[in-house]
Amino acid sequence: MSLYVKQYLSADKPNLVLLHGWGMSSDVWGAFAETLADHFSLTLIDLPGLGRSTVYPSPYTMKSVIEQLAKHVPEKASWLGWSMGGQIAVEFAATYPQKVEKLITVASNPCFVQRDDWSCAVEESVHQQFEASLDANIVKTLQRFIMLQTQGAELGRETLKFLKAILKELDHAAPIESLGLLRGDARASLSQLTMPVFQLFGEKDNLVPLEAAEACQQLSKGGVKVYSGAGHLPFYSHQTEVIADVVSFLQEPAV
């Protein structure tokens, strides 16, 4: 059993770690990662129990996942996390601030499920239904999940086709265990980060409501950007723009 790590290494380029979201693998980065490799030395990881990573901690907790990731990443790097990968990246940065130079989250809600003081998230009843359906039929639930990510967004059909092709090749070891991380709350961790932070959102995201962008702006001193017409995968539908923003942010001298 092992953790799957793919690297585009270059000694003269700064390190960047990419973390995908729930139900996917690092293949979701596709051409986005290949273009970023022109600028950065990349480390792509399949999260524990997802994609080609057959190893996963038991119990499957945020702390245990972070400890596992820490063994496979550069001593110092910037981090970019999408969706649940963004939550994990925030918690990693809070746990190991000396390892994270800059942080970018994409279509990521620090608190994915609604709470009394956080309405800009998925309703509790909806998430419970999702957990129940995953228990009953993993394949159908994953298909429904990727449809939600692309519905109503620019390049929605093309994005769905791309995700379906990836999903077809996946056989997750711990889809149910890893889903538990989406019940976490990274708001306190996000608010305490001292490194530069940049949070990217899609205007038409069905999983992370637009209101979350404004709420996250209040939590973090970093920048926030919303991509007009983008769904849950702005790095696919608005790839050129997102790459330009990522490169610009990461290449800015840290103050």
3-state secondary structure of 126: helix
Residue pair 216/110 in contact (Cβ under 8 Å)? The answer is yes
User: Which positions are catalytic?
Assistant: 83, 205, 232
Tokens representing 44 are 């792509």
- For 240, residues 6+ apart whose C-beta sits below 8 A from its C-beta are none
User: Residue 134 to residues 120, 128, 177: CA-CA distances in angstroms?
Assistant: 23, 10, 11
Non-local (6+) Cβ contacts of 144 within 8 A are 133
CA distance 109 to 128: 18
Residue 200 bridge partners (DSSP): 106, 225
From edge to edge, which strands make up the β-sheet containing 5-8?
5-8, 41-45, 15-19, 77-82, 100-106, 197-202, 223-227
CA angle 135–84–86, rounded 5-degree value = 175
Question: CB of 152 within 8 A of CB of 28?
Answer: no
